[in-house]
A and B are shown apart, each in its own frame.
Chain A
């Protein structure tokens, strides 16, 4: 009950803060429709002959960019929350409450990710309803891909927070996400188009499996059994990354408390 109560308090804080930034929602919705329109006309310009991984190009882009944006914006939202807490001095006070730092971080990140999961769903629904992207969804497979993807995104967010607390450089991970990983994860084109060494590198990036998994589940309606290898990879990344990220954060918080740098930014 106590944990649910804390989660409720954190979700309420973030929701109230978001709705009181009055123009924020409007800007988000305008951004979603502009981006979708650009991808729709890009795929029309390229023509129906281009079918990466056997699907139409617009749905291919819709899922790729949607999942990629979910990862980046989630990590960004979480990092911004940590940076803001450092700047205002809230982080120090939060660390003196009865809630353990690791619990606090996980609950805060759930809130950051929940908002972006809603954005992802709006993005996908708008792509299907307004721009007529054809889908053949297997909802159970989609749900599993999203659960594992959230665990991986959570790990990335916690890692960004760790870098921020330890070196005041959480933005470095976001830079990596928005440059190298964007290029390697098959967001805009299939990774098989890359030269062989880069393709092998792309296969070591968890985002590649999240994007590919959601494409298979949402656009082709593949069953859980048919997607077992992709789901196993996603689960493997989640199981390894999440405990490592939490351990690193715990270490960086302890070091910051030792050095008195908790509120440095």
Chain B
């Protein structure tokens, strides 16, 4: 059975200017984030969402996590609808979003993870062991007791991944997870993704990075201005260059290297 299912999902964001808009230049209107998106992802599958800024990648992840609700259509996780059974969906989903500073600054990395693990109902007897594991997996074990207000961007990002992993979700959502990571940590992270998939975790990863997509993906969704342009498997022999060409041909965006 598919673990994540999108059926004709539509999402728009409406912008209403302020009451006294003549004082400024704010524009009203709406942004279409997703148009009739339909796809599904199975267990043990790594699906990469690729597309330019504003294509609907983050919106898709937020819809699965229940941070956002669809305007039309439905999003189901493990057979549960994100609108009707949000609680059951949240128990299955872990998300690492691109917002770096979504932590309590005067708590250490370990204290932050303990806090979120409690809210995620990680059993007490397993909690400390799991936290040690994810701190080690994300290379934060030496900074575990440092207040996160002293963290760099890359460390925040690693902690975000650790937080998503600590509940051992069956669906893992990652939004540009390696944006601020160094090369060694990135390579280790890609290996972690493959290992999690081998343990039946469903992974959806939004990225702009062709090398990352090739390194981790089983399948690729190409999004452009809220439309799903391509949904295809990634072959073993596919490389980042070939994917890059496919991306620019399909989206019609201009590759600066060709100028």
Contacts and interface: CB of A to CB of B under 8 A. Distances in A.
A17 interface: yes
B240 interface: no
Interface of A: 2, 5-6, 8-10, 12-13, 16-17, 20-21, 88-90, 92-100, 104, 254, 257-260, 262-263
A9 B114 contact: yes
B147 to A, nearest CB: 7
Contacts of B179: none
Contact of B68 (A10, A16, A89, A260): A260
B248 interface: no
Contacts of B121: 2, 98-99
A97 B68 contact: no
A96 B124 contact: no
B90 interface: yes
Closest 5 pairs between A and B when the two form their complex, measured CB to CB: A9-B118, A89-B99, A89-B102, A97-B119, A20-B106
A92 B118 CA distance: 17
Interface residues of B, number: 35
Given A20-B147, A89-B99, A8 B118 contact: yes
B183 to A, nearest CB: 27
Given A88-B102, A92-B67, A257-B66, A98 B91 contact: yes
A8 B115 CA distance: 9
A259 B103 CA distance: 23
Most buried by A among B103, B119, B147, B163: B119
B237 to A, nearest CB: 37
A97 B116 contact: yes
B19 to A, nearest CB: 12
A6 B119 contact: yes
B228 interface: no
A146 B3 CA distance: 49
7 contacts: A13-B104, A20-B106, A89-B97, A96-B67, A96-B93, A99-B119, A259-B13
Contacts of A12: 111, 115
Contacts of B95: 93, 96
Task: Tell which of A10, A96, A260 has the most Cβ of chain B within 10 Å.
Answer: A96
A6 B62 CA distance: 24
Interface in B41-97: 62, 65-69, 71, 87, 90-91, 93, 95, 97
B90 A98 contact: yes
